Amino acid sequence: MIGPRRAAAGVQNVALPFAVCPAKTFNGGPNGAIVPGRSVVEHCRIVGEVARALISRFLPFLAEQLFPSGSEFVAACHDIGKVSPCFVEKLRRACEDGIPGIGALACGDPQREKQWGGHAGVSQVTAKALGVPPYVAEILGQHHGFSPPVAGKRADDEIFGGADWQRERVLLVDELKAQLGSDWPQVTSVAQARVLAGLASVSDWIGSGKFFEDPHAPWHGMIERALDEAGFIAPDYQLGLTFNEVFGFSPHPVQRELIDAVVAPGLYVLEAPMGVGKTEAALFAAYQMLARGQASGIYFALPTQLTSNKIHERFNLFLQGNQTHGLTGILGSECKHRSLLLHSKAWLLDTEMGEEGKPGGAWFNQSKRGLLAPFAVGTIDQALMAAMNVKHGFVRAFGLAGKVVILDEVHSYDAFTGTLLDALIDLLRSLSCTVIILSATLSLARRQQWLGLGLWKDDYPLISSAPSQQPVRELEVKPEKGNDLSIHLTGQQDLAINEALERASQGQQVLWIENTVVEAQERYLDLAARASELGIACGLLHSRFIVDDRQTIETRWVSLFGKPGWPRRAAQGRILVGTQVLEQSLDIDADFLVSRFAPTDMLLQRIGRLWRHAETPRAAAALCEAWVLAPDLDVAIESPEAAFGRTAFVYSPYVLCRSLEVWQSRHELSLPQAIRPLIEQTYAKRKEEGSMAQWLRQLDEGTPRRKGRNALSQLARVTLAQDGNTLPESKAQTRYSETDSHEVLLLRGLSYDSKGKVSRLTLLDGGSAILPWQRFALSKPKWRQLTAILMRQIVPVHARDAPLALSKDTLRKFGFQHCFYLGRDDWEDDECLLRVALVDDAGSLKGLEGMHVHDRYELTYRDDLGFRLIKN
């Protein structure tokens, strides 16, 4: 044992032997008292062994490419910085009876840790002093998700305990080398470093979980069980399945061509019209990669949460099959992942992800944890953050490595998101992923950005194939027979409302698409009262519903407008009003379409919901026709904001005017033949004059209210830079917006029970929940169940529209920190974005404890309208 030492400059400092330094606290004392947990050396050893076992579960070719020899040692050394006076003093103060044998440390003020990002910063400077290989020190520093502010600091600085404490950290590293039989790895690329950083973080989470919390319990036999319960179980598959066995029909030519083209990890782009089965083609290509051992899982990424919700049903059917309908799922009959499908909440509730994945942890949210599941459907945003310098971005990269990543509806992104998407695709290719891009409306310029300038074919449909280490090929596919439809542009909204009601009264199924939630709510209110008098059903679908209400609406309306609704289609006419969520990835089929004007690619997507299937039963009077609410072109060019209204704040005025030029003289359309010409006519570069030159300049350079695409691209590149400050997720936008968005928890009632030390919650549907103030009052499974329930009461809202913020103290008073991530107290730029409001019987939102809810608007919520603002 090494006794007390006198540090430099005569400052008294007790340098503790590394072997007695604690890594954790443990709620294992009498009545849940906090006592010292495992030591630093034991916790580091556990995490290293978890990492080693985790690597062994990767496919052999992936493990070899992604994890250089010694990768587990990096994970083990993540917490060497806990051998420091500030950290030890923090844990000593946290334990109710202190730490036996350790007194107060004179230089151990825990408040100082925020100056260098806590113990992770000490780990980084320690490793740097040891002369570790490139990337390794930064990986250790980032294991809590962000880059610590350690510039100019040295491992033997007095703030870290001086030379004596640094000597103990060096001895700890030597001890871990001996215990693990490992040494520092040689990391060869930024992509490999990101995956290794993800491995270190995830191994730390698992190694901090329930199997390893009790310092007196043996841990050596728990590694494999902990990985199983974290969901890292290798799936097994039914081999040799045909397309027909999986989906119940034979593949179309487009589907066959893509399936044959996907032969190895690489990049594949499928451009084909709406309704030809791009989803099934991509999924079967993914199945073949899985069956050949060339991929480790599937992540299906869509533009919005709403579209991803509906794909879940098809995705789960693909995985599990349906005996009643004679469909065979790709998973083996004994595959444990049959019960771990993300959207059923089973994966969220049945997996134990350790520290960060516990209820209230930053990674409990299923949209993030889905990236670590072998099979998941989610939004493009979560995938994009794998390439961004955002907190835990590298965990996302780790989760996606080696998978088939399907990027659907890749056409609707601006310069900001497009720049991020380019970086994501490059990253995924370097991580041995199979990237399949699906789009009905892609420009040649966009395809060239991903695959190179040598592309030239303008055939449609078209497959561009770029397997790793092989040249790019362009494969044209003979188009199938499409639709001929009529287009009617009108500026008369009242006329369109009357036409929609008239068509629906004839028994037709009508789709009305607006460009903003506010306008969709207004049209629904315009139509619903009159529709009711005519015996017409009317519904509304957009993003501002709580999960339970949104899924109820989806289940009813998407089913009615899709194949499951065919037997009920003739029962009555219907009008479904919605926003852009209706234009993407939903297999809905309308008899008549009304759409607010939008850019060409968006209009084509919306038209793709019209007469989608030849077999769909339709009312006798139905005609294949779309009405588009559009202003006069000359008026639009002179004053686009006045002409297009709110739409001009959603889409670029220049792009809207270019699109209107293309569509103004269109009265008929033949699909899919017209898709490629319409896209190229809209987006081809050209010299502009007069007002159009002004709108083009604004598109490029921006306005006081809106950034231009040059600035957006630059801003996106800043978020990708790995040498700057790590962004908290609240600031890491993947769709550029001038405002943040907040999660709003809506409740009917909330009371404070000081005697029972619980908060009593009434949910919107009248159900109840009890939220204890003390974490040990519920078991971890019970906390997961409660948190999952509360997450379904949340609606996402723009910051300017959200209820006023509550203090963290108020949120903690009610116990919300146990269920929702409220940010770290010791890290200033992690914000609490949770808002809470009460909904009264009339649908009005009220603040907690009589607080004012909003400065400018009355806020309301109804299960048929969603979250709504009404000017005071």
Residue 253, domain member (yes or no): yes
Q: Tell me how far CA of residue 584 lies from CA of 566, 608, 753, 763, in angstroms.
A: 21, 9, 46, 31
For residues 834 and 730, is the Cβ–Cβ distance under 8 A?
A: no
- Whole-model pTM? 0.85
**pLDDT at residue 126, rounded to an integer:** 96
**pLDDT at residue 2, rounded to an integer:** 34
Q: How confident is the model at residue 103 (pLDDT cuts 50, 70, 90)?
A: confident
Residue 104, domain member (yes or no): yes
Q: How confident is the model at residue 614 (pLDDT cuts 50, 70, 90)?
A: confident
**pLDDT at residue 342, rounded to an integer:** 43
- Phi, then psi, of 49 in degrees rounded to 5: -70, -35
The answer to whether residues 383 and 516 belong to one domain is no
State yes or no: pLDDT of 384 exceeds 60: yes
| Higher pLDDT, residue 12 or 221 | 221
* Gap between the Cα atoms of 860 and 870, Å rounded: 8
Q: Which of 536, 553, 535, 534 is nearest to 544 (CA)?
A: 553
Residue 756, domain member (yes or no): yes
The answer to whether residues 45 and 123 belong to one domain is yes
**pLDDT at residue 356, rounded to an integer:** 63
For residues 233 and 351, is the Cβ–Cβ distance under 8 A?
A: no
Q: Among 622, 641, 671, give the residue marking a domain's end.
A: 671
Assign residue 265 the CATH number of its domain.
Answer: 3.40.50.300
The answer to whether residues 313 and 276 belong to one domain is yes
Q: Report the Cα 365 to chain-centroid distance in Å.
A: 10
State yes or no: pLDDT of 869 exceeds 60: yes
Assign residue 115 the CATH number of its domain.
Answer: 1.10.3210.30
Region of residue 117 (left: phi > 0; alpha: psi -120 to 50; beta: else): left
Retrieve residue 466's tokens: 């770029």
The answer to whether residues 283 and 222 belong to one domain is no
For residues 698 and 368, is the Cβ–Cβ distance under 8 A?
A: no
State the amino acid at position 530 in one-letter form.
R
State yes or no: pLDDT of 718 exceeds 70: no
The answer to whether residues 569 and 619 belong to one domain is yes
**pLDDT at residue 337, rounded to an integer:** 63
The answer to whether residues 397 and 506 belong to one domain is no
Across the range 634-639, mean pLDDT stands at 96
Q: How confident is the model at residue 3 (pLDDT cuts 50, 70, 90)?
A: very low
Retrieve residue 235's tokens: 């799936």
* Gap between the Cα atoms of 612 and 587, Å rounded: 8
Output DSSP code: residue 590.
B
Calculate ∠ Cα 497-545-743, nearest 5°: 135
Q: Which of 348, 290, 354 is nearest to 319 (CA)?
A: 290
Q: Report the Cα 691 to chain-centroid distance in Å.
A: 39
**Lowest-pLDDT choice from 63-72, 476-485, 517-526:** 476-485
The answer to whether residues 864 and 834 belong to one domain is yes
Residue 734, domain member (yes or no): no
Exposure on the CB side of residue 219, measured as CA atoms within 13 A: 23
**pLDDT at residue 414, rounded to an integer:** 61
The answer to whether residues 317 and 179 belong to one domain is no
The answer to whether residues 259 and 181 belong to one domain is no
* Gap between the Cα atoms of 339 and 316, Å rounded: 11
> Residue 445: CB partners within 8 Å, gap ≥ 6?
683
**pLDDT at residue 12, rounded to an integer:** 36
Express each pLDDT in 414-455 by its tens digit.
666 777 888 899 999 999 999 999 998 888 888 888 888 677
For residues 83 and 169, is the Cβ–Cβ distance under 8 A?
A: yes
Calculate ∠ Cα 12-18-24, nearest 5°: 105
Residue 450, domain member (yes or no): yes
**pLDDT at residue 585, rounded to an integer:** 63
The answer to whether residues 562 and 451 belong to one domain is no
The answer to whether residues 191 and 258 belong to one domain is no
**pLDDT at residue 613, rounded to an integer:** 86
Residue 723, domain member (yes or no): no
Mean pLDDT of the residues in the chain = 87
**Lowest-pLDDT choice from 480-489, 825-834, 861-870:** 825-834
Question: How does 401-413 read in b/e, with b if 16+ C-beta sit within 10 Å?
Answer: bbbbbbbbbbbbb
Q: Among 644, 671, 698, give the residue marking a domain's end.
A: 671
Retrieve residue 710's tokens: 């040059």
Express each pLDDT in 22-61 by its tens digit.
999 998 777 778 999 999 999 999 999 999 999 999 999 9
The answer to whether residues 307 and 249 belong to one domain is yes
Residue 747, domain member (yes or no): yes
- Residues of the domain holding 769: 741-871
Q: Tell me how far CA of residue 717 lies from CA of 170, 420, 430, in angstroms.
A: 37, 8, 19
* Gap between the Cα atoms of 59 and 347, Å rounded: 22
Question: Following DSSP, what letter does each residue of 252-320 receive, concatenated?
Answer: PHHHHHHHHH--SSEEEEEE--TTS-HHHHHHHHHHHHHHTTS-S-EEEEESSHHHHHHHHHHHHHHHH
Residue 798, domain member (yes or no): yes
| Higher pLDDT, residue 607 or 340 | 607
- Phi, then psi, of 682 in degrees rounded to 5: -75, -40
For residues 17 and 168, is the Cβ–Cβ distance under 8 A?
A: yes
**pLDDT at residue 9, rounded to an integer:** 35
749 bridge partner residues:
762
Retrieve residue 127's tokens: 């490793």
Q: How confident is the model at residue 8 (pLDDT cuts 50, 70, 90)?
A: very low
For residues 546 and 794, is the Cβ–Cβ distance under 8 A?
A: yes
For the chain, percent of residues with pLDDT exceeding 90: 56
Q: Among 432, 449, 476, give the residue marking a domain's end.
A: 476
Express each pLDDT in 695-717 by its tens digit.
889 888 887 777 777 766 666 56
| Higher pLDDT, residue 351 or 709 | 709
Q: How many domains does the chain have?
A: 4
Q: Report the Cα 464 to chain-centroid distance in Å.
A: 27
**pLDDT at residue 397, rounded to an integer:** 93
**For helices 119-129 and 162-180, angle between their N-to-C axes, nearest 10 degrees:** 80
